[in-house]
Structure 1
Amino acid sequence: MRADRLIQVLLHLQSRPRVTAAQLAADLEVSVATARRDLEALAAAGVPVYPQPGRGGGWSLVGGSRTDLSGLTAPEARALFLLAGPGASSSDDARGALRKLVRALPATFRAEAEAAARAVVVDREAWSAAGRPRPPEVDALERAVVERRRVRIDYTGATGASSRRDVDPWGLVDKDGAWYLIAGTPRGPRTFRVSRVHALEVTDERAQVPEDLDLQAEWERVVGEVEVKRSATWATVRVAAEHVDVLRAQFGRHTVVADDAGPDGSGRVRVRVAAPTPLDVARHLAGWGAEADVVGPPEVRSELSRLGAELVAAYGGDARP
């Protein structure tokens, strides 16, 4: 651990003009005596580090000496930190490695690397079918987020209406293959589905991004609002125990197996599922036929009955095998 800590000390010295033993001890979570011994060990090993006594003193690298331990170019660093940003890994080791690496980067592109590390959130819980190709606009949007450039987009909303908007990109979210842009607008933060962006221009205007932005927290707020709308109607269904995973694939997180979910006399278990409207629930369950017994509510059973009558009217007289 000593060698690893000495590298951290060196990277710390490279990231600021002067540091005291007390500051170093606090940052590395070691004692002041340990920090001072590490600094002295670096000096004894030939690293050009020296102490400056007195008020405002501390330890510095001679002449601002730098050792680029990363060997990365600016584009490589940006790409690496985009891959290793929020949600990609939450382990302490990963976060520690990123902290060390960002201090090892040349100052000329350290800020971009730090911005890239905060640019993308990864959310593995899909809202619908995954496996989509990555939209080509993602690369340009990532760059706009990192460089804090305002973007002009032609966007088609959920209703089919198209509009042109100038927005300040705050960050991107990869939700199991579906990409979303979180951006600032004159009406406050908004979320745009990247697949609905059919024209994109990165402008030279500086984007306005909150200095205290927590992209992960902002996305969790968005998810909370969406999930409330997606779970407005709950229904209770009885299915064979081996089919619960199929229901879960259809309804995602809105699938709750009853606490007393042991198979009843028919070998079925009770499962609660949810969707925005009774019709949405019924559409998901209509294909199950008699394999799913919808206990309630009556609104969902009514929609199933109506869908069944439509199918009988359309295909009931078809005598083809």
Structure 2
Amino acid sequence: MPRDLSSVKLDRLNRLMRLLYSGRPVSKGAIMDAIGYASVRTFERDLAFLREAYDAEIRHDQTQGGYILEGRGTFILNFTLTEREILSLVSGLRMASHFLPHLAKDADDLWTKMRSSLPESLLEKGETLGRCSVVSLPVSRMDSRAFDLLVDAIGTRTNVRFSYRSPYGSERATTRVVSPWGVFFQSHAWYLWGSHPKTPKGVTYRISRIKTLHVWPDTPFSPPPDGMRIDDHASSGWYGYTGDADIPVEIEISPPLAEIVQETVWHPTQRFEEGEDGK
């Protein structure tokens, strides 16, 4: 940290960086009002100080009429967390430990680091949630290296090559080159959504069945169909993944299940209608 930096100025710089950290262009007027600058010159000096002392990348976009933070450099943001944010953090760490067992130790280490900077009152609520909550959904075993490699390949838009065998198909494993588009968890296992030469919208591969996985960068990457995201492909709770046809389906459900099924979003397009005899 640069020397001779008063707590008042540091607080002002911190609030300015938090405002810019939203990623959206922020106008000079909005910054002046939000931070409470008495003069434009003070604001401009703060900008210059952040750029020179911390290597912060802040540029003014004339077309969008505002300042944009493209990199915070060495500036470390100081922030406070609310009670609900702490509970969200603990819940997320618990979920990560359960659904991604190979990250359990990392999640515990992160919580240990967070504990040292949390107020006692918020810390106790987080610890209580951790002690009294558990996720009972089973998770299929998988190769942690394969999962991490697939996530990296999705981020870099790089093809992968692997051996795969489905119990519903041939008894022999086949080797295939796939453009990975996304991963998702459903029921009790992690799945990869990726390209397939015979299916333009891609297919689903269960990650626990992927063997001998390698990055395969010397082949062209096939992007997902226009407008399709991993959310669109994996949003159905019925294992009915997106295909080429759009087929309306009606299901009649009798009590007591008629009331129970309404507690869950099984498909983003679902709609319930009250029928006779509680159906």
- Bigger Cα Rg: 1
TM range (shorter): 0.3 to 0.5
TM-score by length of 1: 0.40
TM-score by length of 2: 0.45
